[in-house]
Structure 1
């Protein structure tokens, strides 16, 4: 168990992240007394510091910038930017400088009254030569990876509020299309009956910021879990698990959304899966919340991103067996190969490929290329063909520590 020290108290970090409202008094005390808390992932004195940030009437934790004391592997506050594979350039949509995420997305956050995009969203040749723009799914995956939510340390549990705490802490001072993230991005907090008035007021104020004014529509992004997606008289309507509002999709967007994110949407209403979504919306003069663009991501119950239900089943097995692993996200970095999973508790690390479409020519060709890459790089691989064998039959390499114990005979 990783702890957090506040004054003389050692608290369970996992519980503090999942239930920040329950620890508001202790966190406020830490902020006022010393200005920080101390992470227990590294017990060497002095321990790594954690920023305590006020968020309404509660407090959240974040990495202390430029702290020379390292967080250990498996800690949610481990620096993630160093884990990006491949090289980044000034043209990339995602930049991380000075401790701030600077993102350029392929969405219009301001639309003039005549329906034209703002200059920052135009697709001129000058703009194209300066910096790429990422799709919404890329943003969703980048946020997940930046917060370390694609990594499982081999222990504990993770609910939505832990995800919310880490996402809010990571994106607190971000920029999206040159605008402050605090102005244009809202990450849904888990519903808390004791704080329902504050939560409702905060969300309503954010919705109002997307209203039309004399200059046009001011659009906003909202990130949360999908609770319901269903047809409406003019297309479709979507409700998030953490709110009561309906967001409306046009017929065209509703059909495109269902087709493009068919796999991710299978997580809606399931006990064993989750569907995470980011919406770009504007508020009409009549008060309707109209979705202009959307992206969805499938996840297992611990909110580990998955590309299929087969991958979710593999992730569940790895979690259940206490394995440490990560899910590489292909929209984020420039790595030449993205395995389905990477076991980080073996030496060397082992990749796992879930071959759910085995037998399709193009898919098999890509699989052969990946096998060749792993072979040439000396990377061990485990493959699972769901249509050919049950998941329980897949043999996984033992963690390095377990192999060491067997080798010594103890």
Structure 2
């Protein structure tokens, strides 16, 4: 059975719950989840003939609803077209931090995140962490997430790394914001619920300016300095419009927050230019690139001030990119109406092997697409690339320094989901 949402055809997820086959959009689905949770039953996703075991978790807060979630490290067991499909953790930097910096409780559905940057700042104490909490000079130990690692994790969880031609024209900032906030739900750090600390700007509207500003200031109230007490920090994820000199010091101007700049001190401003030179160069030179910023900030004398920051360039489709060649690859994939999942680096350094993407529109396989970097660890002279994970996975290689982009693996027909279903049901 297929349904149509906003003119886009989709195949709903189908589960076996308590011996009964039921679609995610069927009447009684919520009740079936509640019954399965009470009976400690494990639903099975029927995207594969043998089914893939999942589990039911209860939503925190006042909603009291239930969600179906993947069992840890089973995303690759689902069919490539299934909304629950996820590449193997080894395909990206996720494998380095899963189970150590990121741990999930199957009983509650809550995920605990260990961060290598603080969300509090002691009064009078100078804190000068590595910019973004992470340096490309050495690999991460995998025990904690840097700012960049946290941004990559939330981008992955929000499924903003997944692309299908049916998403074209529908992935607006409002969509990005909604998915990020859903992804942050049931995530906890040593400072408490991540969602309470996370600020993702609402789409700006002149007509609703006063109401938007009031909600923003109410959310920021917890980060206002109190004499003699630790300064609580907020997390910002937003699109940067510009980072420029101000009347005093420097400021970051964030889109959808036109009335308020985020102050940046001179030390941080100088570090930005050095640490993120490739990202800033790509942003300045390539057409259609957005710059996403994740930052910790405090509110002193009513003005937000950035404490630490990391930057991530993304395409018009909000797909993260590292260099012009990766952007060229994604432009081609999107232009040829391909379906794929983008691999993220998390806290791996620039020389570590990460697949650029995995195609999800090839029946019974997910070919790995890899752009050859001069500093990566593969044996490129022999035409081979460092194999990650399952050696049976077909690998497509492109060395931009010596060849034009090869033909992509051929698409094979199947019926993938084409609607960005809320992540709470995955």
Q: Same fold (TM over 0.5)?
A: yes
2:181 to 165, 168, 177: 168
SS in 2 for 1:165: helix
Aligned counterparts, 1:201-350, within 5 A: 201-214=214-227, 215-232=229-246, 235-244=249-258, 245-265=260-280, 266-267=282-283, 271-285=287-301, 287-331=302-346, 337-346=353-362, 347-350=364-367
Q: Verify the 8 A CA contact 2:81 2:360 in the aligned structure 1.
A: no
Q: 1:116 to 1:272 in 2, by over 3 A?
A: closer
Match of 2:113 in 1: 103
SS in 2 for 1:238: strand
1:381 to 377, 380, 395: 395
Tell me the CA shift for residue 388 of structure 1: 4.0
Match of 1:177 in 2: 190
Match of 1:353 in 2: 370
Match of 1:47 in 2: 23
CA distance in 1, matches of 2:407, 2:379: 23
SS in 2 for 1:371: coil
Please list the CA deviations of residues 215-273 of structure 1 after superposition, one character each: whole Å capped at 9, or x if unmatched.
13111111111111123355431111111221111111112122222233333696511
Tell me the CA shift for residue 73 of structure 1: 4.9
SS in 2 for 1:331: coil
Q: Does 1:93 align with 2:86?
A: no
Match of 2:409 in 1: 397
CA distance in 1, matches of 2:103, 2:382: 30
Q: Verify the 8 A CA contact 1:42 1:72 in the aligned structure 2.
A: no
CA distance in 2, matches of 1:343, 1:11: 24
Tell me the CA shift for residue 395 of structure 1: 0.9
Q: 1:180 to 1:236 in 2, by over 3 A?
A: same
Tell me the CA shift for residue 75 of structure 1: 6.2
Q: Verify the 8 A CA contact 1:92 1:132 in the aligned structure 2.
A: yes
Q: Verify the 8 A CA contact 2:8 2:166 in the aligned structure 1.
A: no
SS in 1 for 2:272: helix
CA distance in 1, matches of 2:401, 2:306: 38
Q: 1:330 to 1:88 in 2, by over 3 A?
A: closer
TM-score between both structures, scaled by the size of structure 1: 0.71
Q: 1:87 to 1:369 in 2, by over 3 A?
A: farther
SS in 2 for 1:313: helix
CA distance in 2, matches of 1:140, 1:322: 27
Tell me: higher relative CO, structure 1 or 2? Use CA pairs within 8 A at least 6 residues apart.
Answer: 2
CA distance in 1, matches of 2:404, 2:311: 28
**Structure richer in helix, relative to its length:** 1
Q: Does 1:84 align with 2:94?
A: no
SS in 1 for 2:23: coil
2:67 to 61, 64, 70: 64
Task: Please provide the CA RMSD for this pair.
Answer: 4.1
CA distance in 1, matches of 2:307, 2:394: 44
Q: Which runs of 5+ in 2 are unaligned?
A: 16-20, 34-58, 128-141, 415-426
Q: Verify the 8 A CA contact 1:164 1:187 in the aligned structure 2.
A: yes
Tell me the CA shift for residue 189 of structure 1: 2.5
Tell me the CA shift for residue 206 of structure 1: 2.4
Please list the CA deviations of residues 8-46 of structure 1 after superposition, one character each: whole Å capped at 9, or x if unmatched.
xx643989xxxxxxxxxxxxxxxxxxxxxxx95237863
Tell me the CA shift for residue 191 of structure 1: 2.1
SS in 1 for 2:283: coil
TM-score between both structures, scaled by the size of structure 2: 0.68
Tell me the CA shift for residue 188 of structure 1: 2.0
